[in-house]
Structure 1
Amino acid sequence: MSTRTSSAIVLACLAAACSPEQTANTQVLANVEAVQDQEAADDGLLNCAVGAAATLSRVCSVERQESDRGLVLTVRHPDGGFRRLLVTKDGRGVVAADGALPAQVTLVGANEIEVALGDDIYRLPATVRGAAAK
């Protein structure tokens, strides 16, 4: 969490130093802080059920990494296993970034999707576009 705090402080300093674009930078800073606040509230964990007999519990972590294909999420299981998901920009949410199993994505809340890969299930935060945005 200290890395997130350091990043926010650096962004705040940069926003304050750029007077012509201060409004845009302030908005970016506000967005970054909102994401960091949400991540801190979640403790970086998300609900998942790993294996056919498992029930959903907040035990999986997620790492984000930009690649040439886009944003890749690595969801880490408590037992050391993991799955990689590629965030799409076409409204599907995510797809499997590697492996033979396709990701089945279901909307389960206003800002949440459920992703099933084989016997594993993950609940991820999502920005859901309205019908007018399609």
Structure 2
Amino acid sequence: MTLTMLVACQEKTTDTQVLAKVEAAQNDAAAEDGRIKCALAGSDAFQRVCTIDRETGDRGLILTVHHPDGGFRRLLVTKDGRGVVAADGAEPARVAIVDVNEIEVALGNDTYRLPAMVKK
């Protein structure tokens, strides 16, 4: 991240291509760091600030999505093509396909972009 910031600081004029490259590099670094995109508390703006823990239990694979403020949501990965469902709680998970490698999961006022393999 330091290298990309230095590159941006060396530019004397605002160049959208340089800014796009810096943003892409930061996004790649965050993805490699295990963070996913999420929009929390009703926000429409996705940021790569949430993390995921995976745990296999008697019900199957449980994903625990951690928020930067300490909050979290638990999702159960299904085997019936739905993607994920809420692992606990009264709020249902709403799943939408974003891309062939990504789904969007809304649970309450929080929305997550999760990597997935979408079968056609």
TM-score, structure 1 as length reference: 0.65
Q: Looking at secondary structure, tell me which structure has more helix per residue.
A: 1
Please say which of residues 121-130 and 41-50 is displaced more in the overlay.
41-50
State the structure with bigger RCO (CA 8 A, min sep 6), 1 or 2.
2
Partner residue in 2 for 1:55: 45
**Post-superposition shift, 1:42?**
2.8
Map Cα deviations across residues 59-113 of structure 1 (whole Å, 9 max, x no partner).
0000000010000000000000000000000000000000100000000011100
Q: Distance in 2 between matches of 1:76 and 1:67?
A: 18
Over the matched positions of the two proteins, sequence identity in percent amounts to 66
With over 3 angstroms needed to count, the CA separation of the structure-2 counterparts of 1:82 and 1:41, relative to structure 1, is closer
Partner residue in 2 for 1:123: 113
Matched, 1:83 2:69: no
**Post-superposition shift, 1:53?**
3.0
**Post-superposition shift, 1:43?**
1.2
Q: Distance in 1 between matches of 2:82 and 2:66?
A: 22
Stretches of structure 2 that go unaligned for 5 or more consecutive residues are 1-29
Alignment of 1:101-116 (within 5 A): 101-116=91-106
Q: Distance in 2 between matches of 1:120 and 1:110?
A: 22
Please say which of residues 82-91 and 41-50 is displaced more in the overlay.
41-50
Matched, 1:44 2:25: no
Q: Looking at secondary structure, tell me which structure has more strand per residue.
A: 2
Give structure 1 regions of 4+ aligned residues with deviation exceeding 3 angstroms. none
Partner residue in 2 for 1:69: 59
Stretches of structure 1 that go unaligned for 5 or more consecutive residues are 1-39
Q: Distance in 2 between matches of 1:119 and 1:94?
A: 17
Q: Distance in 1 between matches of 2:43 and 2:104?
A: 17
Partner residue in 1 for 2:25: none
Partner residue in 2 for 1:94: 84
Alignment coverage as a number of residue pairs: 92
With over 3 angstroms needed to count, the CA separation of the structure-2 counterparts of 1:52 and 1:69, relative to structure 1, is same
